[in-house]
Each structure stands twice: as C-alpha cells, then as structure tokens.
Structure 1
Amino acid sequence: MHPYRSVLFVPGHKPAWAHKALASGADAIVLDLEDSVPDELKRESRATVRATLAELRARSPFAGLFVRPNALDTRLAGGDLEEVVCPELTGLFTPKIRDAADVLRWETLTDWFETRNGASGLEMIVPVETVDAIANCGEIAGASPRVGAMIGPTSRHADIARAVGFRWSPEGSESLYLRSRILLACRQYGLHALTALWEDLADLAGLRAFADYGLQLGFRGQIVIHPSHVPVVNEVFTPTDDEVDYHEKLVAAVEESTAAGHGAVRFQGQHVDLAHADKARDWLAHAHRVRNFARP
C-alpha cells in the first residue's frame, strides 16, 4: 500500500463533500457508508458513492479512493460491495474486524465482487475498534495479502474508547499501549501504520502535536475527519529536504568509510556504522515514495 499521509473521511451520501476532500490535498479519501450515514439513507447512498467514485477518479488518477461498507454483522456489507466495487476503487476500509476469520470473510466477498464488477487489486485498511481486534492484531495483520494498513486506536468518542473504557487525553498516554501493539503488528507484516484521528476541529496546534507524536512512535500517516486538518497532517508526515539531505550524507559517509576499510565513521559529531546506513537507506526509500507521490 502507498504510504498515505492523510486519509480523509467523507459521508457517502454527500458527494459535494467528497469533491472538497479531493481539493484539500488528502492522499486518500474514504467514502463512508457506515456510521456517518443515517440508517434510512444507507441503501440509496450506495449508488451515490458509486457515481462519486467515478467522478473523483476522473479528476485524479492518483488519489487513494476507499469505501467503508457497513459491518459484516449488519448483513448490509454484501449489498454495499455489490454496488461500490468498481475499477475506480482503490480498496475497502473494513469495519468491526475482530480476528483473522473476519478478514477472510471480507476477502471472500472482495474476491467475488472484484471479479464480478471488473475491479482488481483492492486493498484493505483495517481499523482497530474492538478489544478482540487489539488482542488479535497480529493474526489480523497477517491474515490476507489484501490487508495493506492498520490503524492505531486513539479516538475520544469512537468504538474503541467505549470498548476499552479509557479516558482520553491530548497526550494520548492512555492509548499508547494499544497503538504500540498495532504498530508492531504492522512492522511485522510490512503494513502501512496509520494513527487515528484528532477530533477537535479548531485546535490545529493540538493536531500538529498529536500527529508529530504519532510520527515519533513510528506511524507514517493519520486518519482525518476535516479538510482543514489535511495540510497539517501532510506536512508532519512529509520528510523535509533537510532530513533527506542528512540521511543521504550519512549513507555516503559510511560508504566512503567502508571503501577505505573502516567499519565506522564520525558523522556530524555522531558515531555511525553499517547499521546506521541500513536504517538511513530504509528511511530514504520511504521518504522518496512519499515525496514522489504525484497529485494533480
């Protein structure tokens, strides 16, 4: 999965909002058929989402376009996928997954409707919304090659807060263990690690601090719920010119030292060796993928 910096949610029954989301510069957009759509509008919203996907893809060949269908237990998921799986779709934001068996149920549905509707290569973004999902995050991460990303839970009012019972704080200490489990599962299986959302729409300084702490932990992108949050999150998760320059020079210094028969070298006042160069190369590979992600 592309290392999306910002993944912006939009209610599926409001196509104008989806176009604003694309204009915001979000790397990926999730058209929601679940929690943000009233029950009486869920079925008719499927056709709206299908039409919106075509419109958004016509405007941008590069943006990630995802749909969050309704949970499996609602018995609406099959109808959702029958309507919205299409060539324009990048993947699914699969809700309420509890274990590997749930992943395989989603995979089976995706296989069927992908073949039926002429789509291909659909990926899953898996939110962690239940205690079972936290306990089973490793098996979830490795259950299917379609799983491309998982989300470390942090939300103040969402399902995970109710399930765990934590009291939210801006610093996020109450969800650090939960996020860390998800992060390690992502690293183990090579998934894109996303941190969850910042719910205070007006507090951009708080958003920046929260996103930066997520980056510090090892997350590489964030879920957002308002277009005004996109520029902040994109900036935080975009490697800077100075950071790229530092890592490129570190690799060059170690390579020069190795060529001269040395295993370590002093670089900008620090002791660095082959392990440091390997880490820098990994970081640079990620940085170039992010910075080269073209958006019209």
Structure 2
Amino acid sequence: MKPYRSLLFVPGHKRSWIDKALASEADAIIIDLEDSVPEPDKGLARANALDALRAHTGDKGILIRPNALDTIHFGADIAETTHGSLTGFLLPKLFSRDDVVRFDALVTAAEIMHQVPRGSVELIPSLETAASISKVDEILAGPRVGGVMAAAAKDADVSREVGFSWTPEGTETLYLRSKVVLAARAAGLRSIVLGLWQEVTNVDGLRRFAADNHGLGYTGQVLIHPTHAPVANESYGLSAAMRDYYEGLVEAFEDGQRQGHGAVSYRGDHIDLAHANHARQALAFAGNN
C-alpha cells in the first residue's frame, strides 16, 4: 500500500459523512463498520460502504474497518464490501497471525465471488491489543499485509489492554511505537501509520504529535476529523526546504561519483551512498502524494 499521509475515519452508517470525507484533503478514508456504528445500523453501514465504492472514481484510497472476528458481523462485512475500488481492510482487535490468516481466507473467497483480482485487496493490521503488539513480527509476515497501524490513542482499547496512562508527550508509548516501526521496516512495508489524536480543537498538539511520530519513522496518521488532514499532510510530507536539500544531496553525490569519488561534502556534511539512498527514498515517498 502506498504511504498515505492522512487516513480519515468516517462512520459507515452516515452516508453524507462518507461523501464529505471523500471530498476532504485526506489522502485516504477509512469507512468504519465497527465501533462507531450502532448495532442496529451495521447492515446500513455495509450498504453505504459498497455504494461509495461503486461510485468512487478518484485516486483517494478507500479502506474499510470490519467488525472483529468475535462478532457476528465480520463475515458479512468482508463478503459484502470487497470491491475493485477497495484499497484494503483495516483489521481490528487482532491477537495473533492466525487472525490475519482467517481474514485473508475470507477476503480471498470474496475476491473470487465478486471477480476482483486475487490478492489485490490488502490487509492492514491494527495493533491495539497487547498480544498483537508483542507478536507484531508474526502478524506482519502475511503475504496480503500491505501496511500497519499502531494504536496509541488516549483512553482507548490499546491503553486499556497495555495499561498505560496517556500523555501528550507519548513517553509511555514510545517503546510500542518504536517496536512497530522496526517490525514494519523489517517486513518491507511502506505504509506505517499511527492512530490517533483525539483532541479535535488542539491543532498545535496534533502538529507536535505528528511531527514526533514522523521523526520516529511513521509515514502517516489515522484521523477523526477532516480539519486534521492538512496538518497531517504537512507533517508527514516533505517540506519544500527538505525536498530542495535531498535533491541537492543526490545531485552532489552523483556529481562526485562521476568524478570518481565515493564520498563528498554537501552543505558541510560528509555524505556517501547511504545518505544518497536515504534521500532518494524520502523523495520517492513524497512523490506518491
């Protein structure tokens, strides 16, 4: 999955909200069939999600969060919303790789049923249980896994599971956030997102939170309000100054190579192939957005 900078949650039972989310500045939306949807509206949420997928023609990513495996809804969620316009499923409340395998089997069956190219719908594990975080390497090893979401939200499932007390500084979740980034990189994943910032009106706090996590290695963030999308896009994107820096670095290194040098000086720094490759990766990621 491409490294989306901003992924906006929207309750599936509110059709007009889905349209507003699609019109927002978010790189992708996540149509929620799970926690934000009341029990009587689960079927409506599935129908709305499928309707939105059928009507979708843009390049904005559309993901769906189905209900968990211990509910009566997950089978219908997968079977009724697998579609050619679907980017992937954000998998909730996982405990082991076996859970990913179960979802994978359901998605494969749905792809066959709806004549969607097999393997095209990706799985994005949401790590919100202590078990899933501790087994992150196994969970991300699945062939259909295209990205990962680490949960570090205030007073939510992950804080209850792990037992931490949330602070804006995030010291209490630094280990688990770092662990997920390392595992995702080892698995070769390009999309590593974090969820989420809950203080809707505290935009300065969101900006600090996003900047810190981008520095840690995250490529994007799950959001709950459309006004947060521009902040996330800026924070997880490449600024004009950094783009200029990296482009100049690559040019300086390549000039040095043509002159027979393996390392050169650039703006006072010693740079070699490793630095050039880092710059190329940053520019490539930025080019996807």
Indicate the SS of the match to 2:147: strand
Contact 2:168 2:205 in 1 (8 A): yes
Indicate the SS of the match to 1:67: strand
Per-residue CA deviation, residues 182-225 of structure 1 (Å, 9 max, x unaligned), is 11111011211111110000000100010000111010100000
Q: Percent identity between the aligned chains?
A: 45
In structure 1, runs of 5+ residues without a counterpart are 291-296
Matched, 1:282 2:281: yes
For residues 271 and 84 of structure 2, the distance between their equivalents in structure 1, rounded to whole angstroms, comes to: 47
**Which residue of the partner structure matches residue 71 of structure 1?**
68
**Which residue of the partner structure matches residue 294 of structure 1?**
none
For residues 80 and 288 of structure 1, the distance between their equivalents in structure 2, rounded to whole angstroms, comes to: 33
Matched, 1:103 2:100: yes
Matched to 1:249, the amino acid is G
TM-score when normalising by structure 1: 0.93
Per-residue CA deviation, residues 216-263 of structure 1 (Å, 9 max, x unaligned), is 101010000011111111111121222122111111212222222222
Matched to 2:285, the amino acid is H
Report the Cα offset of residue 167 of structure 1: 0.5
For residues 245 and 44 of structure 2, the distance between their equivalents in structure 1, rounded to whole angstroms, comes to: 52
- Using the TM superposition, name which of 279-288 and 205-214 deviates more: 279-288
Matched to 2:226, the amino acid is P
For residues 181 and 262 of structure 1, the distance between their equivalents in structure 2, rounded to whole angstroms, comes to: 37
**Which residue of the partner structure matches residue 47 of structure 2?**
47
Contact 1:153 1:178 in 2 (8 A): no
Contact 1:152 1:180 in 2 (8 A): no
Equivalenced residue count is 286
For residues 137 and 131 of structure 1, the distance between their equivalents in structure 2, rounded to whole angstroms, comes to: 10
In structure 2, runs of 5+ residues without a counterpart are none
For residues 273 and 61 of structure 2, the distance between their equivalents in structure 1, rounded to whole angstroms, comes to: 36
For residues 277 and 67 of structure 1, the distance between their equivalents in structure 2, rounded to whole angstroms, comes to: 37
Per-residue CA deviation, residues 148-191 of structure 1 (Å, 9 max, x unaligned), is 11112210122101101111000111101011111111101121
**Which residue of the partner structure matches residue 197 of structure 1?**
196
- Using the TM superposition, name which of 270-279 and 68-77 deviates more: 270-279
Report the Cα offset of residue 99 of structure 1: 1.3
Matched to 1:114, the amino acid is E
Report the Cα offset of residue 94 of structure 1: 1.1
Matched to 2:96, the amino acid is D
